[in-house]
Chain A
Amino acid sequence: MYQYDQYDQAMVDARVEEFRDQVRRRLAGDINDDQFKPLRLKNGLYLQLHAYMLRVAIPYGTFNSRQMRKLAHIARTYDRGYGHFTTRQNIQYNWIKLEEAPDILAELASVEMHAIQTSGESIRNISADQYAGAAADEICDPRPWAELIRQATTFHPEFSYLPRKFKIAVISAAEDRAALRWHDCALRIVRNEAGEEGFEVYAGGGMGRTPFIAYKIRDFLPAAQIFSYLQAILRVWNLHARRDNIHKQRMKILVHELGEEEFRRQVEEEFQTFLALGTDFPQAEYDRIAAYFTPPPFEAGLSDDIDRSDPDFALWVDRQVVAHKAPGYAIANISLKPVGGIPGDISAEQMELVADLAERYSFDEIRATHAQNLVLPHVRKADLYALWQALDAAGLANVNLDLVTDIIACPGLDYCTLANARSIPVAQKIAERFANMERQLDIGELKIKISGCINACGHHHAGQIGILGVDRKGTENYQLLLGGSGAEDTSQAKITGPGFDEAGIVDAVERTVERYRELREPGERFLDTYRRVGLDPFKEAIYG
């Protein structure tokens, strides 16, 4: 993984001291909250429902044991003993004190971490396939590209005051594990007929109040031109963005209003300007960064056999372990979705255990996923049983990857100032309703995603079953949506009809699932059945 050089470290250290002075001035009353707010947001510090919340960047979801231990230390020392992994592969803390925030940033800087651009109108933490560098189906490791884009755009003056936040994802496999087309700008690495590496480029996606799936605006962009092309996209948006209307500032609105063709034409025109200016990065710079992502020293000649004599272990392997590119190795998914738990939450003790296990079994690498789970990407198959035993003892061997209880949920009204309804209790009650393992396995892949407001942090638009919490005359109300996908078969979920109260939405989900079981044909996932039969049979089951 990438390691800071002296320039990176100096920049992050300087930023900590700059923020320390800003906090000092705020506490002394030299600046008011209107003046301070944009400064704290540029350092990932929000004021939430109960306290300050700090969002820490985990670039493309990759981190190591030292960093995880520091995250555990921060949870224990400065917060209330836990952290919360988010849908952008970040981690956030919910109970931060303003006067301690600079010390936390200094602690993060000591392990090459920060909270820069995790909020505000900036290019946010770049997300990627959580299996990058390990996946059997990838063309190459997409993280050097993500890191290059991160370095090129962080602190770039043209991108420091964007019209609104801007989200980028990078993958290099046919299977989309990063909700690619729900991003402002989405990059999928492909090879052309000559075998050259390049990008399929998508633009204009995003969820929130006005959801759009990104359009493909380039079939193939030579890889070396990616920064010039990104600059062109951002400049077209920066030039035309509706800064007069907060609801129309995201790039997806501009792409929609200009139209796919006109947006593409303007980007291509701007791109030619950048090509003439020679803003592409030097190959040596890519090579420098890529050197940090060389594969770990995988052992040769390992067996692919797994002793499956323990049925509980075999079940975990079947659900939580996926194929690795190196013979004898596997990718292990750690579910942060225990039935009755809070999706994405992890205690300081569990963080430390995962750090130990990553060090012992996964070449010191950990990944955070956009589905609020963790991954150990490089585990010898021979070590899986020992890994599973250690995870099981810590309550981290849940078996539910992509099943009905593997629910994405935003913090909702329990923590968030923007939310209108609670998300977590709904997720907990649905998980409890479907807790039976045999039932979960019988239902198969079913991705439920819950948001507590229209900002859609819980990705309800991409839920095979989506739930949106709204405020109806001061009470929580939940709308049910069906048919969304954040995978390579991206689609937007549709609202089924009138909403429900908290108990009602759980019953409605169960009626939906039971109708699927009646209608499904052999081998069909929930989403396949929905797409085949349409909304009406489900509406009939939901509303009678």
Chain B
Amino acid sequence: MRILTGNDLKSGAVIWWTGRDWSLHVEDAADVGEHGEAVLAAEDGARRVNGGYIVDAEQTAEGPRPAHIKDRIRALGPTVRPDLTLKPADPTAGDWVI
């Protein structure tokens, strides 16, 4: 599957395209198939995302998992500061990255 990511213009936060809007959570990401470029072009015009790009991912029971470690770190947060990730209460969240 192919999903879209970028950084929110105002906050810089990592965001994922849900099919209608952007979410902080990769679990919400939609498979854009071959339409990624068109969505990014439209969203760039809407001024909500910075540096958007298409990511290869696999569908898992927990939702989309980006193929590359860099995007998995982007999705969760720094592996060395669990308290700064999107899942600060889950000490095993880093296992998802590796």
Contact = CB atoms under 8 A, between A and B. Distances in A.
A32 B44 CA distance: 9
Contacts of B14: 49-51
B51 A47 contact: yes
Given A97-B12, A475-B69, A342 B74 contact: no
A33 interface: yes
A99 B10 contact: yes
Interface string A86-100: 000000000111110
Contact of B79 (A29, A33, A414, A474): A414
Interface size class, chain A: 20 to 34
A26 B9 CA distance: 9
Main secondary structure on B side of the interface with A: loop
A52 interface: yes
B70 A425 contact: no
B10 A97 contact: yes
A342 B14 CA distance: 22
Interface residues of B, number: 23
Interface in B1-56: 7, 9-14, 44, 47, 50-51
Contacts of B77: 50
B69 to A, nearest CB: 7
Given A29-B47, A474-B68, A475-B69, A51 B7 contact: yes
B80 A428 contact: yes
A422 interface: yes
A236 interface: no
Contact of B80 (A27, A47, A342, A476): A342
Interface string A26-38: 1101001100000
Contacts of A413: 69-70, 73
A281 interface: no
Contact of A49 (B44, B68, B70): B70
Contacts of A342: 80-81
Most chain B Cβ neighbours within 10 Å, of A52, A80, A424, A475: A52
A370 to B, nearest CB: 22
A47 B50 contact: yes
A414 B73 contact: yes
A415 interface: yes
Interface in A38-82: 47-52, 80
A152 to B, nearest CB: 34
A460 to B, nearest CB: 19
B8 to A, nearest CB: 9
Given A47-B50, A474-B67, A474-B68, A27 B84 contact: no
Given A415-B78, A422-B73, 7 more contacts: A33-B51, A51-B11, A98-B9, A413-B73, A414-B78, A414-B80, A474-B69
Interchain residue pairs A-B with the least CB separation, the first 7: A51-B12, A52-B12, A414-B78, A424-B80, A29-B47, A97-B11, A99-B10
22 contacts: A27-B9, A50-B12, A50-B77, A51-B7, A51-B13, A52-B12, A80-B84, A95-B12, A95-B84, A96-B12, A97-B11, A98-B12, A99-B10, A342-B81, A413-B69, A414-B79, A414-B81, A422-B80, A424-B80, A425-B79, A474-B68, A474-B69
